[in-house]
């Protein structure tokens, strides 16, 4: 039966199975619940500000979506392979006529779908909070949707990095490494600035290499633009999406190389 | 197998090239959405901003809440001091240079005299100047600056200049020109005030605006006449050693041709015990207007 599956169908099957499996992860619900709670508390904080309810709700809400979205992405990204290995299902999976890179891609797509649903749920919570604060939430949609879409792309990068680490490392180390990379990715511009001030050309080259190797998370963060009512142009969304897709390709190839060399006994 | 490895290598190289190229382009485009005025601010605030991991907006909110709570807990308390308020507001506006409420309310907190505020209009003006530099599209910051100069610094001439500058802002409503004219009049710069009111009289957007301009021009005229009359009364006092009992005495002394009237025809009042010259109680003109 498997032999008749085309590559796309095989990847789709893995993606679907991964989504279903990840749906059983309790941590997912805990994080989404926590995010919704945090978004809800923005109402209280908004009350304490001087006429700044909208910006407080948006800053806290978008902050919660971003932080917990990335946390979810890292945890689930590590769990994508870990579950298979823990339950020894990986042995069965690898005996099927499915390539290893197809397994990785399918799992990433499955995780991405689930992340998409989680980000959508959290965005729904934010819109409800805005409505509860008496804000015209429909008017905020054109500002918010591109921002949360870019957050989703951010979390995809985080998930891919976690998946990459999990192909050759333990789950704890993978989680910590991915978290570290993502955090540094928020300040990757610092490397570019250091590259301009260090005297050694080698160090400058190294700084530049770090800058390009790290996921540039800050270029996908438009919270301030949304808060100040500035719309994000389609060209930026397109460029950011292309950047993330290419970054994912690089990470997936590296993950595929690492996963290909791994032996399961 | 070998061909697949080559293909993967090529794909990897292409993807890395794409990431580098797109990363650079994205960086340039995104710069317009984010703020890079670190050199303008104190290093500590700049460092916090740099290491805020993209949460500068959220941090700005938290520090703003802290600033509001800090102010709220101390305001109206005898002997209250507000030293860290300036630093807190600077932190907020460094983290988010477009946080207008922090500039506007913060300037009020700083400018008000103790115990309502920090009694530092100089710091309030500095805060607003930073806000104006970071938000050239916000004429309201100029309005706040003008009011602080007017009410707290009592520098009418500077306040008038700021209001006039504000009135030329493309987004400023037309009434801001009226405000500028009124403050120029208060500053004693009647010529500028008159030019603005004449302009409003000619090009005002409604009959109400034009009527107000006409009224203000009459007030300016009355103010000048009052000053002139007061000078005459003082000259009389210097000569005779007493204040004139009535306008008639000044007419007999050759200083006036007839009892003076305001631009609306109401007689000016002369107080023979103090030498003060005033408008008639019946006159619809009201001075000063600010």
The ranges assigned to domains in chain B are 38-154, 155-205, 222-278
Structural domain tally of chain A? 1
Give A-chain residues touching B107 at CB under 8 angstroms. Answer: none
Domain assignment present for residue A111? The answer is yes
Residues 192-221 of A with CB under 8 A from B: 192, 211-212, 216-219, 221
Q: Is 70 exceeded by the pLDDT of residue A84?
A: yes
Chain segment A170-210, per-residue pLDDT in tens? 989 999 999 999 999 988 887 887 888 778 999 999 999 99
A87 vs chain B: nearest CA distance in angstroms? 30
Domain assignment present for residue A213? The answer is no
Q: Is 80 exceeded by the pLDDT of residue A104?
A: yes
Residue range(s) defining the domain that contains residue A106: 2-186+221-260
B15, B54, B89, B140, best to mutate vs chain A, most A CBs in 10 Å: B54
Choice among A18-22, A92-96, A116-120, B69-73 with the minimum mean pLDDT: A92-96
pLDDT of residue A178: 95
Tally Cβ neighbours within 10 Å of residue B203: 12
Domain assignment present for residue A74? The answer is yes
Chain segment B65-78, per-residue pLDDT in tens? 888 878 887 777 77
pLDDT of residue A5: 52
Q: Which of A59, A187, A212 sits opposite B53 (nearest CB)?
A: A187
B138 touching A (Cβ < 8 Å): no
B15, B55, B57, best to mutate vs chain A, most A CBs in 10 Å: B57
pLDDT of residue B127: 96
B86 touching A (Cβ < 8 Å): no
Q: Which of B11, B29, B57 sits opposite A223 (nearest CB)?
A: B57
A224 touching B (Cβ < 8 Å): yes
Domain assignment present for residue A93? The answer is yes
Q: Is 70 exceeded by the pLDDT of residue B40?
A: no
Domain assignment present for residue A202? The answer is no
pLDDT category at B34 given cuts 50, 70, 90 is low
Domain assignment present for residue A200? The answer is no
Give A-chain residues touching B57 at CB under 8 angstroms. Answer: 55, 59, 63, 223-224, 227
Q: Is 70 exceeded by the pLDDT of residue A25?
A: yes
């Amino acid at each position: 039966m498997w032999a008749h599956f085309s590559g796309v169908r095989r990847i789709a099957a893995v993606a679907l199975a991964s989504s279903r499996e990840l749906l059983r992860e309790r941590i997912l619900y805990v994080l989404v619940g926590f995010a919704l709670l945090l978004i809800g508390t923005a109402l209280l904080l908004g009350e304490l500000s001087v006429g700044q309810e909208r910006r407080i709700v948006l800053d806290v809400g978008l902050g919660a979506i971003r932080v917990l979205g990335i946390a979810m992405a890292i945890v689930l990204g590590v769990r994508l392979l870990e579950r298979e290995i823990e339950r020894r299902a990986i042995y069965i999976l690898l005996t099927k006529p499915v390539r290893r890179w197809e397994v990785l891609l399918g799992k990433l797509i499955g995780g991405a779908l689930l992340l998409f649903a989680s980000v959508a749920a959290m965005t729904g919570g934010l819109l409800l909070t805005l409505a509860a604060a008496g804000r015209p939430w429909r008017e905020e949609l054109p500002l918010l949707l591109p921002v949360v879409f870019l957050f989703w792309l951010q979390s995809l990068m985080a998930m891919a990095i976690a998946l990459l680490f999990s192909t050759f490392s333990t789950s704890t180390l993978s989680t910590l490494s991915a978290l570290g990379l993502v955090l540094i990715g928020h300040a990757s511009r610092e490397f570019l600035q250091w590259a301009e001030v260090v005297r050694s050309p080698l160090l400058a080259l190294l700084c530049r290499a770090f800058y390009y190797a790290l996921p540039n998370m800050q270029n996908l963060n438009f919270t301030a633009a949304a808060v100040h009512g500035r719309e994000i142009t389609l060209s930026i969304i397109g460029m950011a999406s292309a950047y993330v897709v290419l970054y994912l390709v690089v990470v997936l190839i590296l993950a595929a190389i690492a996963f290909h060399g791994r032996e399961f006994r | 197998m070998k061909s697949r490895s080559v293909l993967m290598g090529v794909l990897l190289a292409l993807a890395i090239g794409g990431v580098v190229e797109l990363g650079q382009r994205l960086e340039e485009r995104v710069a317009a959405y984010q703020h890079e005025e670190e050199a303008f601010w104190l290093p500590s605030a700049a460092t916090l901003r740099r290491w805020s991991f993209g949460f500068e907006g959220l941090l700005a909110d938290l520090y703003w809440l802290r600033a509001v709570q800090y102010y709220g807990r101390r305001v109206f308390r005898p002997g209250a001091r507000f030293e860290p308020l300036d630093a807190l507001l600077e932190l907020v506006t460094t983290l988010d240079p477009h946080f207008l409420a922090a500039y506007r309310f913060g300037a009020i907190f700083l400018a008000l005299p103790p115990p309502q505020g920090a009694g530092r209009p100089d710091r309030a003006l500095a805060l607003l100047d930073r806000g104006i530099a970071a938000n050239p599209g916000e004429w309201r910051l100029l309005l706040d600056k003008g009011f602080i100069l007017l009410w707290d610094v009592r520098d009418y001439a500077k306040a008038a200049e700021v209001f006039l500058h504000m009135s030329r802002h493309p987004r400023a409503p037309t009434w801001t020109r009226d405000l500028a004219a009124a403050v120029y009049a208060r500053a004693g710069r009647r010529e500028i005030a008159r030019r603005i009111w004449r302009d409003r009289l000619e090009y005002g957007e409604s009959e109400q605006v034009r009527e107000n301009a006409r009224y203000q021009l009459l007030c300016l005229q009355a103010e000048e006449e009052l000053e002139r009359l007061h000078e005459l009364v003082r000259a009389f006092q210097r000569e005779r050693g007493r204040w004139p009992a009535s306008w008639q005495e000044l007419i007999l002394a050759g200083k006036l041709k007839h009892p003076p009237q305001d631009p609306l025809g109401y007689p000016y009042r002369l107080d023979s015990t103090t030498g003060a010259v005033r408008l008639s109680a019946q006159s619809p003109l009201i001075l000063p207007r600010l």
